[in-house]
Amino acid sequence: MQKTKSIFYALLAAAFYAVNVPFSKLLLAHVGPTTMAALLYLGAGVGIGFLSIFDKAEKRERLDKKDLPFVLGMIVLDIAAPIFLMLGVSLGSSSNASLLGNFEIVATTVIALVIFKEAVSRRLWAAIGLITLSSILLSFEGTDSLRFSTGSLFVLLATVCWGFENNCTRMISAKSTYEIVILKGIFSGLGSLLIAIFKGEPVPELRCIVFALLLGFVAYGLSIFLYVRAQNTLGATKTSAYYAVAPFIGVFLSFVFLRERLTWMYLAALTVMVVGAVLVVADTLAGNQSDDFSND
How far is 97 from 100, CA to CA, in rounded Å?
A: 5
Question: Is the dihedral angle over the CA atoms 43, 44, 47, 53 positive or is it negative?
Answer: negative
Query: Which pLDDT band, with edges at 50, 70 and 90, does 181 fall under?
Result: very high
For the segment 192-214, the average pLDDT, to the nearest whole number, is 95
For the segment 1-9, the average pLDDT, to the nearest whole number, is 82
CB 92 within 8 A of CB 98: no
Describe the crossing of helices 2-18 and 245-258 by its angle, rounded to 10 degrees: 30
pLDDT score, position 119: 73
Count how many domains the chain has.
1
Write the pLDDT tens digit of every residue in 233-258: 887 777 876 776 776 677 777 777 77
Q: Which amino acid is present at 41?
A: Y
pLDDT over 70, % of the chain: 87
- Residue 66 predicted with pLDDT over 80: yes
pLDDT score, position 145: 42
For the segment 73-91, the average pLDDT, to the nearest whole number, is 89
Write the pLDDT tens digit of every residue in 154-179: 989 999 999 999 899 989 988 999 99
- Residue 142 predicted with pLDDT over 70: no
- Residue 143 predicted with pLDDT over 60: no
How far is 105 from 260, CA to CA, in rounded Å?
A: 25
Closest CA to 244 of 218, 272, 277, 287: 277
**Rg for the chain (alpha carbons), in Å?**
18
Kindly report which listed range (4-18, 72-86, 104-118, 190-204) carries the lowest average pLDDT score. 104-118
Query: Which residues contact residue 123 at a Cβ distance below 8 angstroms, ignoring those fewer than 6 apart?
Result: 279, 282, 283, 286, 291
Query: Which pLDDT band, with edges at 50, 70 and 90, does 72 fall under?
Result: very high
pLDDT over 90, % of the chain: 38
What mean pLDDT, rounded, does the chain reach? 83
What residues make up the domain containing 64?
2-293
pLDDT score, position 216: 96
- Residue 117 predicted with pLDDT over 80: no
- Residue 76 predicted with pLDDT over 90: yes
Query: Which pLDDT band, with edges at 50, 70 and 90, does 47 fall under?
Result: very high
pLDDT top residue among 120 and 150: 150
pLDDT score, position 243: 72
Closest CA to 12 of 175, 283, 242: 242
Name 144's bridge partners: none
